Amino acid sequence: MSQSIPKIILLSLCVSLTLNCFGKEVNVYSYRKPHLIKPLFDKFTQNTGIEVNTVFAQKGMLERLRNEGRNSPADLIFTVDIGRISDFKEAGLTQPVNSDILLNNIPQNFRDPENYWFGLTSRARIIVVSKDRIRAGEEILSYEDLADPRWRGRVCTRQGKHPYMVALTASVIAEHGTDGAKNWLMGLKNNLARKPQGNDRAQVKAIFSGLCDVAVINHYYMAKMLVDEEQTEWANSVRIIFPNQMDRGTHMNVSGVSLTKYAPNPDAAIKLMEFLSSSEGQSLYAERNGEYPVKKGINPQDLVASWGGFKQDDLGLSRIARLRERAIRLADEVKYNE
């Protein structure tokens, strides 16, 4: 007679431990830095008993996942920017997730129409201006204003083909068409104070240093800089503007998650996705990284909330993804980085 434990007893043990015998862990490949997401994963493990293992990389994740193929241990991909998220879908490395919880918690414009990716937090592409050199009465009110000749030699931005700039340009294409967006991008280039360079924090530092008076950044960098002893002075030198409040609203992007095509622990992975979209997960996520929750009714961290509410552009990010190649071509056509 076999001495093995009957299957029905094993199943009962799984249920009693609230673990899935074939999925008691989740393996995450992440572009998000560990300190931003580990507290959320720890809370999920505390709630469910499901362990979360993380591999962090700043680049090369898509190539790694492609090379691993069916043997990949990865269940979930965490990444930032609609461009990077959609790249994994286009490469055939993810699969759709059918979850009523995710569909109820995450607005339509922040998720893929076919459910291949889901936004977990959102970020506003804001304009910052010098407090000393730009008076409140002469504020920039829209992205379109950045191309106005009165700002000649006063604007700083990232490189034109950086994903954040590409997404913003794509949103202008969606609003004004390709020709209108090209004229806008050329006008913006003509207003640059220096060759496009640096990250978002570097744009704020450039204003503080007097190199320019206007810059475009993601809002959460302000939240980070205001509590960074070295960079607080930079952040306090600028004023925040949420653009396009009189029309379409401020351009939004996301950090998001996808279930890999060959996820070895799909059930546990989906549970983690659902937790991160829940009220508890959203509150923890927003408090930790200074981004806006995607779930309605959840407040951002106090510092971000102190800047007040604003109108968001509700353009579906899937459309932004489709317009990315056109936006990149425009950056080349106007020689934005030269």
CATH code of residue 140: 3.40.190.10
Q: Would residue 170 count as lying in a domain? A: yes
Q: Would residue 7 count as lying in a domain? A: no
Q: Would residue 16 count as lying in a domain? A: no
**Residues 161, 40: one domain?**
no
pLDDT for position 36: 83
Q: Would residue 1 count as lying in a domain? A: no
Q: Would residue 292 count as lying in a domain? A: yes
Tokens of 213: 């008076």
pLDDT for position 101: 98
**Residues 213, 321: one domain?**
yes
Residue with tokens 């937790």: 275
Kindly give, in sequence order, each residue whose CB lies less than 8 Å from that of residue 268, ignoring residues fewer than 6 positions away.
Answer: 20, 23, 24, 25, 26, 50, 75
**Residues 117, 264: one domain?**
yes
CA count, 13 A, side-chain hemisphere, 220: 21
pLDDT for position 35: 82
**Residues 37, 133: one domain?**
no
Q: Would residue 10 count as lying in a domain? A: no
Give the domain range for residue 280.
Answer: 23-122+253-305
Report the amino acid identity of residue 20.
Answer: N
**Residues 155, 50: one domain?**
no
**Residues 244, 220: one domain?**
yes
**Residues 176, 224: one domain?**
yes
pLDDT for position 14: 36
Q: Would residue 76 count as lying in a domain? A: yes
Q: Would residue 150 count as lying in a domain? A: yes
Tokens of 251: 């351009």
Task: Tell me how many domains the chain contains.
Answer: 2
pLDDT digits (tens, 9 = 90+) for 15-57: 333 334 445 899 999 998 888 899 999 999 999 999 999 999 8
**Residues 53, 68: one domain?**
yes
Q: From CA 234, how far away is CA 139, in angstroms rounded?
A: 19
Give every residue of the chain whose pLDDT is below 50, as ranges: 1-22
**Residues 118, 42: one domain?**
yes
Q: From CA 97, how far away is CA 52, in angstroms rounded?
A: 19
Per the DSSP assignment, residues forming a β-bridge with 61 are none
**Residues 194, 329: one domain?**
yes
> If we measure between CA atoms, which residue out of 55, 58, 118 comes closest to residue 82?
118
**Residues 140, 113: one domain?**
no
Calculate the CA dihedral of residues 148, 153, 158, 160 and round it to 10 degrees: 60
**Residues 175, 214: one domain?**
yes
pLDDT for position 6: 38
